[in-house]
Amino acid sequence: MTGTTKATFVLVHGPFLGGWGFRRVASWLERAGHRVFTPTLTGIGERAHLLGPDVGLSTHIDDITNVLVYEDLRDVILVGQSYGGMVITGVADRVPERITQLVYVNGHVPTNGRNAMGGLGGTSHKLGEMTGNEGPRLLPPFPFEAMGIHDPADQAWVGPRLSPHPMKCLEEPIVLTRGEPRMPRAYVLGTAREALIAFLKADPLAHFVEKARADGFVFHELPAGLFPMISHPEELGAVLERIASAAR
CB proximity list for 2: less than 8 A, separation 6 or greater: 32, 33
Higher confidence at residue 2 or residue 66? 66
Q: What are phi and psi of 199, to 5 degrees?
A: -65, -45
Domain boundaries, the chain: 8-247
- Cα dihedral 108/188/181/9 (nearest 10): 110
Among all residues, which ones are annotated catalytic? 82
pLDDT-derived band at 134 (thresholds 50, 70, 90) equals low
Task: Give me the mean pLDDT over the 72-83 stretch.
Answer: 98
Report the sign of the C-alpha dihedral through residues 40, 22, 224, 112, in that order.
Answer: positive
Q: How many Å separate Cα 199 from the centre of its chain?
A: 20
Q: Cα–Cα distance between 39 and 246 in angstroms, integer?
A: 25
* pLDDT tens string 204-214: 999 999 999 99
Task: Give me the mean pLDDT over the 221-243 stretch.
Answer: 98
CB 153 within 8 Å of CB 123: no
Q: Would the pLDDT of 146 be above 80?
A: yes
pLDDT value at position 37? 98
pLDDT-derived band at 136 (thresholds 50, 70, 90) equals confident
Q: Would the pLDDT of 4 be above 70?
A: no
Residue 23's alpha-carbon distances to 13, 27, 217, 239, in angstroms, are: 11, 6, 26, 16
Task: Give me the mean pLDDT over the 189-214 stretch.
Answer: 96
**Quick one: fold of 8-247?**
Rossmann fold (3.40.50)
